[in-house]
Chain A
Amino acid sequence: MIIYILTVFLFLIGLYGVIAKRNLIKIVIGIALMEYSVNLFLILIGYVRGGTAPILTEGLGQKVFVDPLPQAMVLTAIVIGLATTALLLAIAIRIYKKYGTFDIREIKNLKG
């Protein structure tokens, strides 16, 4: 049970980073942390105590397997996360070139 709570904690730390931090790179790190925590949560859902890799072979008596579906989902989610993080960092670098700073208090042309 404690490990589920720690996952939620990691999610909240990431959310705090996104909301409270003023540096663009730290916001990106916050989003990455949230993503890791969701991935961990998905893996935990599929985990069965004492289970092994779900490979069906003749003659092996092992009957307890972990659920393979969340693992496949997490693989996909990691790839998607890579794309979002890469794009976020690319835009952050472009912003740095235009404004000369990562501080969001100085990057506010748009309002209203």
Chain B
Amino acid sequence: MDLFIPLFVVVPLGGAFLIAIIGSFSRGFGRYFTSIIFAFLTGLCIYFVFRIQGPLVYRVGGWELFEKIPIAIYMVIDGLSLYLLLIINLIGFLSAFYSISYIKKFTAESHYYTLFCLMTAGMNGVVMSGDLFNIYVFLEIAAIASYALVAFEIEKEHLEASFKYQVLGGVSSLFILLSIGFLYWQTSTLNIADVSRMIAVGGKGELVVFSQVILLAGFGLKAAMIPFHAWLPDAHSSAPSPISSMLSGVLIKAIGAYVILRLFFNMFAITHSVAMVITVIGTLSMVVGVLLAIGQWDIKRLLAYHSISQMGYVVLGVGIGMLVLARNGDRAVATLAIAGGLFHLFNHAVFKGLLFLNAGAVEYETGIRDMKKLGGLAAKMPVTTSTSLSASMSISGIPPFNGFFSKLIIIIAAIQAQYYVLSILAVFVSIITLASFLKVQRFTFFNKTGGEWERRGITVREVPFSMCFSMIVLAILCFLLSALIVPSVRDVLLTPAVDVLVRAGEYTTAVLGY
């Protein structure tokens, strides 16, 4: 089974190559081929979910351990990687399927699908890599493809957003490379498991802390945590809508939050100070993100600010778990907090992906993104309206939907860990989120007075089948994912991912095998 592991990178990379070549002869090739690739990879993920027992390790080139030194480049699939792989390929499939209708109006269609496949190959590589430098390489593949995709519509604001994104992304990549250099200097190895062992044996204290700080700055920039968030609203609102849903739903998690979790749990020993910094950053993102979002009138910009805030919830949940682990507190509380964070990560991918697809559907039909000029779309676009309503209820935490349960778990964990202020802040942010999504629903869909589109004489009807299909599937998922709180379902998908983080020390032994 571990022979299937490289397929997650090889298939989308090969697909990108084929689409680039064949796409110049036949325009429609990439359109369907991309969806087929991601449907296949999603199926492979689901197969892995049911068959996996313990971490699978693939050594590139087949090099075995030499005198207990790992020579090969390791690719590891454990519970956490598999969880992220499922999110990436599922949202990737639905966005690619949505693009079939949405991207038809652009001329460079096959370039779009090439970049799409490259970006996803990069993200799959990052979450599977067991090697620091490989993380950097795959991260750059994903990031460079996403820079180009943000500028895809080449109007003034898209180019400006892309340039800003590239400058900040480039600086953060260099910080990451610098800190990888420092870690190599300290430990003379790049394998994450081996680095963790070398640091435990006797890394020099200050330099390890210094590399931790640069690493946190670099990946914090990639994850758009609050002091480093400036590029996100521009980049995510300028990209074509299916790409916005990939960037907000998946990219900031796969190359930002995931790597922070993996490195700070499994590679460095958990310390109280780092846990504190991560919790504070998460809380700040959660609160400030939502306060910035409430005043926005551009629908995609508003959604982009909410991404910052919701990622704050994820980081807050995990940070609380880390704090409890650092002070040797109750493991059950830590497990609950981390489970809440990871559960919210999946939920956010689903509902934020859906909301961006809805915004894309509105823009596709009316050509307008300013909420003041919209309104009265509920009667014309029933599918978009109902799916958007379920996503809005999910993100603001209304009971039968998934967002409610993950926020509830995070809040309960915060109370049990005796961080009462954090739990009150989480409730407060959830209420403001509700207010801001009431605004979205009211002004975009349910306003009785017709908007600017009526005056301009644009005929609005429901979007084509491929776009409807993706939105409906995601809306059903918003509902179904609530099932992850049922213990038997949770044990299949969520518990293995949480175990990787709670039992952080076991990663080294599991990967190296001694």
Which residues from chain A sit less than 8 Å from chain B, CB to CB?
A: 11, 15, 18, 24, 27, 31, 34-35, 38, 41-42, 45, 67, 69-70, 73, 76-77, 80, 83-84, 87-88, 91-92, 94-95, 98-99, 107-110, 112
Bound state CA distance, A38 and B171, in angstroms? 11
A38-B174, A87-B148 known; A70+B166 contact, CB < 8 A: no
Query: Which of chain A's residues have a CB closer than 8 A to the CB of B133?
Result: 73, 76
Cβ 8 A contact of B137, one of A27, A34, A41, A76? A76
A18-B167, A31-B167, A87-B166 known; A95+B160 contact, CB < 8 A: yes
Q: Could you tell me if B184 and A70 are in contact, using CB atoms closer than 8 angstroms?
A: yes
A80-B140, A92-B163 known; A35+B174 contact, CB < 8 A: yes
Q: Could you tell me if B156 and A109 are in contact, using CB atoms closer than 8 angstroms?
A: yes
Q: How many contacting A-B pairs (Cβ < 8 A)?
A: 84
- Is B181 an interface position by the 8 A CB rule? yes
**Beta-carbon nearest neighbor of B178 in chain A:** A38
Query: Which of chain B's residues have a CB closer than 8 A to the CB of A42?
Result: 177, 181, 184
Interface centre among B154, B171, B181, B185 (most CB of A within 10 A): B181
Bound state CA distance, A31 and B174, in angstroms? 9
Q: Could you tell me if A88 and B154 are in contact, using CB atoms closer than 8 angstroms?
A: no
- Is B234 an interface position by the 8 A CB rule? yes
Q: Could you tell me if B166 and A84 are in contact, using CB atoms closer than 8 angstroms?
A: yes
What is the CB-to-nearest-CB distance from A24 to chain B, in angstroms, rounded to a whole number?
7
Interface 1/0 per residue, B22-34 and A, CB below 8 Å = 0000000000000
Bound state CA distance, A11 and B140, in angstroms? 20
- Is B159 an interface position by the 8 A CB rule? yes
Please count how many residues in chain B sit with their CB below 8 Å of the partner chain's CB atoms. 35
Query: Which of chain A's residues have a CB closer than 8 A to the CB of B166?
Result: 84, 87-88, 91
Cβ 8 A contact of A84, one of B144, B161, B184? B144
Closest 5 CB pairs of A and B: A109-B157, A110-B234, A80-B140, A45-B185, A31-B170
- Is B507 an interface position by the 8 A CB rule? no
Bound state CA distance, A1 and B195, in angstroms? 25
Q: Could you tell me if A84 and B170 are in contact, using CB atoms closer than 8 angstroms?
A: yes
Cβ 8 A contact of B156, one of A11, A27, A77, A99? A99
Q: Could you tell me if B159 and A38 are in contact, using CB atoms closer than 8 angstroms?
A: no
Cβ 8 A contact of B167, one of A27, A80, A112? A27
- Is B296 an interface position by the 8 A CB rule? yes
Which residues from 139 to 159 on chain B have a C-beta closer than 8 Å to any C-beta of chain A? 140, 144, 147-148, 151, 154-157, 159
- Is B162 an interface position by the 8 A CB rule? yes
Query: Which of chain B's residues have a CB closer than 8 A to the CB of A107?
Result: 160
Q: Could you tell me if B178 and A45 are in contact, using CB atoms closer than 8 angstroms?
A: no
Bound state CA distance, A31 and B163, in angstroms? 12
Query: Which of chain B's residues have a CB closer than 8 A to the CB of A110?
Result: 157, 160-161, 164, 234, 238
Interface centre among B133, B163, B164, B185 (most CB of A within 10 A): B163
Bound state CA distance, A15 and B234, in angstroms? 22
Cβ 8 A contact of A98, one of B159, B177, B188? B159
A-B contact pairs, 29 of them (CB 8 A): A15-B171, A31-B170, A31-B174, A34-B171, A34-B174, A38-B174, A41-B178, A41-B181, A67-B188, A76-B133, A80-B144, A83-B144, A84-B140, A84-B144, A87-B147, A91-B151, A91-B159, A91-B162, A91-B163, A91-B166, A92-B163, A95-B159, A98-B159, A99-B156, A107-B160, A109-B160, A110-B160, A110-B234, A110-B238
Cβ 8 A contact of B178, one of A11, A24, A99? A11
Query: Which of chain B's residues have a CB closer than 8 A to the CB of A45?
Result: 181, 184-185
Bound state CA distance, A34 and B160, in angstroms? 22
Q: Could you tell me if B160 and A87 are in contact, using CB atoms closer than 8 angstroms?
A: no
Query: Which of chain A's residues have a CB closer than 8 A to the CB of B148?
Result: 87
Interface 1/0 per residue, B496-514 and A, CB below 8 Å = 0000000000000000000
Bound state CA distance, A76 and B190, in angstroms? 15
